[in-house]
Every structure is written in structure tokens, then in C-alpha cells.
Amino acid sequence: SADGGRNLSLNSISMGLPMSDPAAWTTAMNNLGMAPMGMTGQPLLPDFDPALGMMTGIPPINPMMPGLGIVPPPIPPDMPAVKEIIHCKSCTLFPPNPHLPPPATRERPPGCKTVFVGGLPENGTEQIIMEVFEQCGEVIAIRKSKKNFCHIRFAEEFMVDKALYLSGYRIRLGSSTDKKDTGRLHVDFAQARDDLYEWECKQRMLAREERHRRRLEEERFRPPSPPPVVHYSDHECSVVAEKLKDDTKFLEAIQTLLTWIERGEVNRRTANNFYSMIQSANSHIRRLVNEKAAHEKEMEEAKEKFKLALSGILVQFEQIVAVYHSASKQKAWDHFTKAQRKNISVWCKQAEEIRNIHNDELMGIRREEEMEMSDEEIEDPSEMKETEESALVSQVEALKEENDSLRWQLDAYRNEVELLKQEQGKASRDEDTTKEQQMKLLQQALQGMQKHLLKVQDEYKKREAELEKVREEKLKIETLLENLKEQESSTSRVCACSQEKECPVEKTLSNSPVKSEREVLLVGIISTFLHVHPFGASIEYICSYLQRLDSKICTAEVEVLMTRLQNTFRQELSGVGASLEKRWKFCGFDGLKMT
């Protein structure tokens, strides 16, 4: 029918234009920046600019189609906006002047589904408004005012964009030209509480979904929690004690032991069990040290293999470089072409650079080995004795610690015996037999501990006696060294007397307490140092200053030199009580007057 042909149908008509009018359809789609296509998929405009629309090959798209929230792209200013006449059942919509600027709109509120429609005809009814705007999408509500405007609420947000397309159109009811039957539509965004509430609900739902998704991601990447530690009991204690002796289960057992101690499971009754577990953990140190030594041995073997392989590579490099050098000699060099000579010279330089790098690396390894060997040189006999003495002292201290631990165990056993005695007085006669057995066992354990303690005390006394012997031997050796030094000094004096007549200059040198040019330099440096310190300085302070100049200077050498020069240096005691200290002072000015 004629009415059906004029109706705004979205399936067969776009914006009220029949498909039989391709020019009008093309103009409307071109205004929207879309490539117009026919029913067969062929372009209606061959010279359509693809930059203004979408990809070719897509069927025609109408912004009034339901389900498409497409906002029309901005129309370029140099292209006129042409809109066509829209025929409805009860009214006709005439497009605005294409040369006028587009109608202004306010800022779009979040989640906007409501539009303001102004400029309605005075005789316009809700039925006519519904007829015009229901083509944009499902209309939920129309609130019409008496002042020729209304608010229309759509079901979805994209329908608002379609309704805005009608802004600026002139509406005429039927064929009447009366002012009450005409008007100019102005469509704009409207702010509604329902739209804002639904938008906020949607945002909260999206935020909940995002939090849930993040929580799932965090749970997926969270590391598993450690296994729970069992509570302390005698059975679990024996199990952990066995695990501590096993290398494969030591980490698990030591973590359990640490947790028990931090929980406060150690008391008078369980102290011995915990002490035995701690002792087992201490014995694991030896296994760790042995394992480290094995790894160090493997590392040394690997170093040795690497050094041998590197030396073999260096030998091969030397042979290759020798080949290049022999090829560079005139006898063979003249027979090569210019390109071949260039390649040979480049190869020779590269081989020499690589050889030098490997040679430096090998020399660095050997230098490190020499430094390690110099650190492990044989010590003096006096130092050896000092190390033996320190070893004995450390053994004595270890025995003292073991003695203290045994005493603590004895105290623990005595406390347990006292507790058993108290419980024995309170318990009934039926339990006397079992308690007597426990008492006997405890007494036997005490006797064994006392015997062990006596053995340890005997060993301690023997070690002390050995230490005293070592000290006496050390004193004897020191006295012998002093006697030898005195004999050397007496022999030097006799030699000086015999040579006095022949060499008076040598006589003066031999009689002088300074015996070499090095000692003269030391005397000068020490005199300058003490002159700056008028209140004196300790021998350690002086030697620390001298060792910055020469690390080979020792404290004994400096002290012997200063004691020989009594008119130049004087030793005094300063301080009171525990702060008593020996200080050396420079007295050369007074000694000059005395001599």
C-alpha cells in the first residue's frame, strides 16, 4: 500500500529512502562516511573515497539500524551535509539547510539513555512522537510537557546516537501548513537519575568482576603454603631426631626443631631431648664441612683441567702464528696475490690478539697460584710452637665447655631425682617398685656421668700439665736466645778491639749502637715521629706508623733498637691502675748534653 511505502521501515528502507532510489541512498551513506553498496555487493559509487568510510565489501550500514551503536563520524568541513526528506505515517520530516552549522549539543552524561526533544508542534501527540522516534530503537518512556518539548528514554545507549541524527529536521503534521502543526526538532542529551543509577550499577558490577578476576589470578600465582609443623610429643621427637641424622631429611627436621623451640616446647622435662637434637644438628656441621671440602677439591681439579686445556690451546695458537709469520717472509710472500696477502695479515693480527688474551689469562691463573703458595709458606719454629700452644689452649677450652655441659646434665638429672623423690612420697605403694627401678636407672646414669666427669677432669689436668711444660720450654728457648745474642755482642766487641788500630773509622761504627744504614733511617723516622708526640707513644703505635712505610718491620726489632739508644729514647710508665701503659719519649736533646 501507499502507507506501507511511506512508512519508516528499517529492513527495506533506510531513513525513509526506498531502495529503488540509489542516488538518495548513496548521498545519505556518503554523508555518514560509509561506502554505499548495492544489494549484490557492488559499489554504487565507483569513485567513493575509502578514507571517508569503512572497508569495502561490507553491506550498507544504516545508523538507525537497531543493535548498532555507531556514532556518525564528523563530516569534513569542505563537504556539504545533505539530509533527505523522511516520510512517516502521520507526519513528514524535512532536512535542515545543509549550509547551516550542525546543531549544538551538551556534554554527554555517563550512561545516557534519555534525550531531550524540543521544537515539537503544538498539536503533536505522544503517538506522533512515538511514531517518529520508535524507528531509533525501543522507547521505554515518553514524558511530554505542555511547552512543546518532551523527554524520551530508550532501552540502550546507542539508540540515543540515532535519535540525535534527527536534530534540526522540520516536522509537519500531515499536509497542514498551520503553525500549530509545524515545528523544528532539537534533539540533545538529557541527564536522568535513572540513567546515572543504572550506569553506576553497571560500573560496580564491572568492578566486582574485575576484582574477582584479579583474585583468581592472584590465587593462581600464589605460592603454596608450607606444610604445617606437627606438635611436640615424645614419638615425634624421636622421629625428628632420626631425621636429623639423615642428610636428605635434615632441612625438614631442622625446621621442625626451630618451630618447636620458638613455640616454647623446651622445659625441664624435655630439655635433654632438645639438647640431643641440637647436638645432632651440631654434628651435621662436620658433614657440611666435608661436603664443602669435596666441592673445593672438584673445583681445584676443574681448574687444573682448564689450565692444561688452556696451555694446549696456547701451543696451537703459537704454531698458527708461526705459520702466519713464515708465510709473511719474502720467500713465500712474493707468490701471493694482493688480496691473499691482505687476508693473511688480518688473520695474523686476529690470531695474535686472541693468543695474547689467552696468555694473559693463563698468567693470571699462575699468579694467583703463586700468591696462594706464598701465603702457605713454612712458619718459623717459634710460630709453630705458638700455634701448638694455641691448639692446646683451644682444646682446654673445649674440655671446659664439655665439663660445663656435663655439669648441667648432672644438675638436670639431680632435679629429676628430686622430682621423683617428691612423687614417690605422694604415690601409693603399688608404684614403689616401678619408681625404685627408675631410681636405680637414674643412679646408674649418675654414676656413669660422674665417672665420665672424672675422666674429663683427669684429661683437663693432663692438658694443663702439658701446657705448663710447653711454657717452660718456651722460657728456656727465650733465655737461650738471649744468651746467644749476648755472646754475639761480646764477640763483636772483641773483633772491634782487634781492628781498632787498623781501622779507626770501623771502630767508631762497631762501637756505635746503630749497626746499619737501615737502623740509622729508622732512628731518624722514630725521632721525628716522637718529636711530634711530646707526651710519648706506645711501641704498637710507633710500629703501626713504620709498617705503613715498610711492611717488613716488626715490633721486636724496633723495641731492641730503641732500648740500645738510651740517650735518644726513654721508656716511661703512664696511667694508673688498669690504664697503666708504657710510652716511649724522645730525649735526644737531654742526651746530647749528657754525652
Instruction: Give per-residue pLDDT as tens, 490-507.
Output: 777 766 665 554 544 444
| Residue 539 confidence (pLDDT) | 86
Which residue pairs from 530-534 have beta carbons closer than 8 angstroms and sit at least 24 positions apart in sequence? 530/569, 530/584, 530/585, 530/586, 531/586, 534/585
| Residue 560 confidence (pLDDT) | 86
| Residue 120 confidence (pLDDT) | 92
pLDDT at 317 over 50: yes
User: What size, in residues, is the chain?
Assistant: 595
Interior CA angle at 587 toward 582 and 593, to 5°? 150
φ and ψ at 179, to 5 degrees? Answer: -65, -35
Least confident of 25-29, 117-121, 151-155, 260-264: 25-29
Query: What pLDDT band is residue 78 in, cutting at 50, 70 and 90?
Result: very low
Which residue pairs from 237-241 have beta carbons closer than 8 angstroms and sit at least 24 positions apart in sequence? 237/270, 237/273, 237/277, 240/277, 241/273, 241/276, 241/277, 241/280
Query: What pLDDT band is residue 307 in, cutting at 50, 70 and 90?
Result: confident
| Residue 31 confidence (pLDDT) | 46
| Residue 22 confidence (pLDDT) | 46
Find the mean pLDDT for residues 386-391: 69
| Residue 62 confidence (pLDDT) | 46
| Residue 201 confidence (pLDDT) | 95
Find the mean pLDDT for residues 9-22: 38
Give rounded-to-5 percent helix, strand, coil for the chain.
Answer: 60, 10, 30
Q: How far apart are CA 494 and CA 484, in angstroms?
A: 15
Rounded percentage of the chain residues whose pLDDT exceeds 90? 18
Find the mean pLDDT for residues 11-19: 37
pLDDT higher at 330 or 262? 262
Question: Which among 149, 145, 153 has a CA at the least distance from the CA of 183?
Answer: 149
Least confident of 57-71, 252-266, 367-381, 565-579: 57-71
pLDDT at 74 over 60: no
pLDDT at 575 over 50: yes
| pLDDT, the chain, mean | 79
pLDDT at 114 over 90: yes
| Residue 428 confidence (pLDDT) | 62
Find the mean pLDDT for residues 230-249: 89
pLDDT at 141 over 90: yes
Find the mean pLDDT for residues 399-419: 80
pLDDT at 119 over 80: yes
* Alpha helix (H) residue ranges in 222-270: 234-244, 250-263
Find the mean pLDDT for residues 330-355: 87
Find the mean pLDDT for residues 326-349: 87
pLDDT at 220 over 70: yes
Q: Read out DSSP for 299-342?
A: HHHHHHHHHHHHHHHHHHHHHHHHHHHHHTSHHHHTTS-HHHHH
| Residue 427 confidence (pLDDT) | 65
Classify the C-alpha dihedral 206-212-213-215 as positive or negative.
positive
Query: What pLDDT band is residue 400 in, cutting at 50, 70 and 90?
Result: confident
Find the mean pLDDT for residues 17-32: 44
pLDDT at 76 over 80: no
Say which residue the cell 624421636 belongs to: 238
| Residue 344 confidence (pLDDT) | 87
pLDDT at 10 over 90: no
Find the mean pLDDT for residues 354-363: 86
pLDDT at 394 over 90: no
| Residue 58 confidence (pLDDT) | 39
pLDDT higher at 293 or 65? 293
Q: Is the Cβ–Cβ distance between 153 and 192 less than 8 Å?
A: yes
Q: How far apart are CA 257 and CA 277, in angstroms?
A: 8
pLDDT digits (tens, 9 = 90+) for 171-217: 998 887 788 889 999 999 999 999 999 999 999 999 999 999 999 99
Instruction: Give the best-scoring range by mean pLDDT among 199-208, 335-344, 434-443, 568-577.
Output: 199-208
Say what the pTM is: 0.31
Q: Is the Cβ–Cβ distance between 173 and 123 less than 8 Å?
A: yes
Least confident of 41-50, 224-233, 322-331, 543-552: 41-50
| Residue 51 confidence (pLDDT) | 42
**Can you read off the three cell numbers belonging to residue 471?**
711454657
| Residue 138 confidence (pLDDT) | 93
Interior CA angle at 308 toward 304 and 314, to 5°? 140
Q: Is the Cβ–Cβ distance between 185 and 117 less than 8 Å?
A: yes
Q: Is the Cβ–Cβ distance between 576 and 527 less than 8 Å?
A: no
* Residue 421 exposed, middle or buried by CB count within 10 Å (0-12, 13-18, 19+): exposed
| Residue 381 confidence (pLDDT) | 53
Rounded percentage of the chain residues whose pLDDT exceeds 70? 79
